[in-house]
Amino acid sequence: MSATPPNSGAPTGPRRWLGLLAAVALVCGGIVYTVEQRTQDARSHPVVVRTSTPTPGTPKATKPSKIAAAVAARRIAVDTILLRRAQAVAAGNEPLFLADLDPANKKLIAAQKILFANLVEMDFGELGYSQAEERFDPAAVRAHGSTTYLVRVLMRYQIPKVDFTPVTTELGYTFIARGGRWLLTDDDDLDADLGPGAHREAWDLGRIEVQRGPRVLVVVEKGDTKRGRAIVRAAAEGLGEVTRYWPRKWAGSVFVIALDETDVRDARFADEDIESAASTGSTFSSLPGQDTADGTVAGGYIVINPNERDRVDEILLSHEITHVATADLGGYEPLWLAEGSAEYVSWRGIEAISGPAEVGKWEQEVIDEALPQLSALPTDAGFYQNSADVYGVSWLAVRYLVQRIGLGNVEDLYEDLARNGNDQAARDRILLTRTGLTEATLWSALATYRPQR
Ligand SMILES: [Zn+2]
């Protein structure tokens, strides 16, 4: 049992919102750009007509309809390829999965063999791909020739017992026409223009191994079996703690990714998340910009910092799983409440094993040492960069609220703020209605807080 306070940061809150905003901007910008470019592209590259049978002696005036027919034919051809690839995964048929690859791109073929094996190993309950909009990239045309068709592709999947609704992630595929057929020639030309975490899913990054528990799925590097099983056990314990100490009814399952990779999904352990042991990111049933600006969050996956993989335990995981359990609520809750609640759950787990003395000692340290370093509740802006113990103070605020209004009411407060706390006025109104306090008076109350021991 470690006495070290769990101190893992998750990219919830402002950073997540910034990521979402960036994604929306990219998606919207991309569509506008593409519509203009598509017309231009069709005009300047009538060679796409190659897929339709040219009618000899057709007058020039019918050219636009020929282009439209070629675009429609290309759409059907690419849809067919995407369908075939999904069917190949379901059937475990590697030759079928590789059948539409450009035979000249040996590197792509090798990578796609690994991708295929990974997708089969994930054992999706549902898997499908669909074309979103075309994107125009002069560099891709230079690299792949005049028939280049660069398209954003939506991958829709459902992992049994993890995703309770199908979720969507995005990819960018480059197709070319050769010898009268369309071929997939590249899968990363669009990566830089996609949303955060696109083409960085667990199965996109090298050969993986999946370890499963009843409500736990863990992905590790191929052959890292022992670690995978240990994380399954720790995650099952962490899941039990969240179920015991956080009263919200939720799906109650967890997906943990522990690869030797610094960038997985929207976790960035090489730069902004470098100090974090783990990070919880969102899955989307509808991506930001797809149906609504914010998208629809379906749940969350946990990504472990590669440098911390040896130190994964139920304390760390119960913190992260609390974020997963609240991921689909809306994300408007203040960070002090999100991180404070996650700390609350993991410290309840410690208390159950070590007894209340350990927790009491830590609580007193936060009161004596961390609290005087701040003059208000930690704000969302700069939360993860703050050198003061903002996790400890956030935990103290949640402990205080539990003492004042009870755990069930704190959970209701969390849910209301996560759904509706989109600005400070709304947050203060919700907090005041449910606790009799504003953030300012909650802070003053903490200064005179005497824990009941
Ligand atoms: Zn956290």
Instruction: Please tell me the pTM assigned to this model.
Output: 0.84
Length of the chain in residues, anyone?
453
Distance of alpha carbon 181 from alpha carbon 70, whole angstroms: 12
Residues 10-25 have pLDDT tens digits of 334 333 333 333 333 3
pLDDT at 50: 33
**Which residue is associated with the tokens 């749940």?**
299
Distance of alpha carbon 394 from alpha carbon 400, whole angstroms: 10
Distance of alpha carbon 277 from alpha carbon 391, whole angstroms: 14
Please list the rounded mean pLDDT of every run of 10 residues in the chain (453 residues).
Answer: 37 37 33 35 34 45 81 97 98 98 97 98 97 95 96 97 94 96 97 94 97 96 98 97 94 95 92 84 92 90 95 96 94 96 96 90 93 94 90 96 96 97 94 95 89 74
**Which residue is associated with the tokens 């829709």?**
156
Going from the Cα of 162 to the center of ligand 1, the distance in angstroms, rounded, reads 20
Distance of alpha carbon 395 from alpha carbon 348, whole angstroms: 11
Going from the Cα of 98 to the center of ligand 1, the distance in angstroms, rounded, reads 41
**Which are the contacts of 57, defined by CB distance < 8 A and separation ≥ 6?**
none
Q: Can you tell me whether residue 82 is helix, strand or coil?
A: helix
Distance of alpha carbon 230 from alpha carbon 216, whole angstroms: 12
Percentage of the chain with pLDDT > 90?
76
Distance of alpha carbon 445 from alpha carbon 215, whole angstroms: 40
CATH tag for 332-453 (out of 1.10.390, 3.30.70, 1.10.10, 2.70.98) = 1.10.390
pLDDT at 196: 87
Going from the Cα of 414 to the center of ligand 1, the distance in angstroms, rounded, reads 15
Going from the Cα of 208 to the center of ligand 1, the distance in angstroms, rounded, reads 26
CA nearest 205: which of 257, 163, 166, 170? Answer: 257
Residues 352-375 have pLDDT tens digits of 988 989 899 999 999 999 999 999
And the tokens for 205? Answer: 């990054």
State which fold the 20-53+68-153+169-204 domain adopts.
Nuclear Transport Factor 2; Chain: A, (3.10.450)
- Residue extent(s) of CATH 1.10.390 domains in the chain: 332-453
Residues with CB under 5 A from ligand 1 (ion): 10, 339, 342
pLDDT at 451: 81
Q: Which helix (H) or strand (E) holds 295?
A: none
Sequence-separated contacts (24+) of 30-33 with Cβ below 8 Å: 30/133, 30/135, 30/152, 30/193, 31/133, 33/135, 33/136
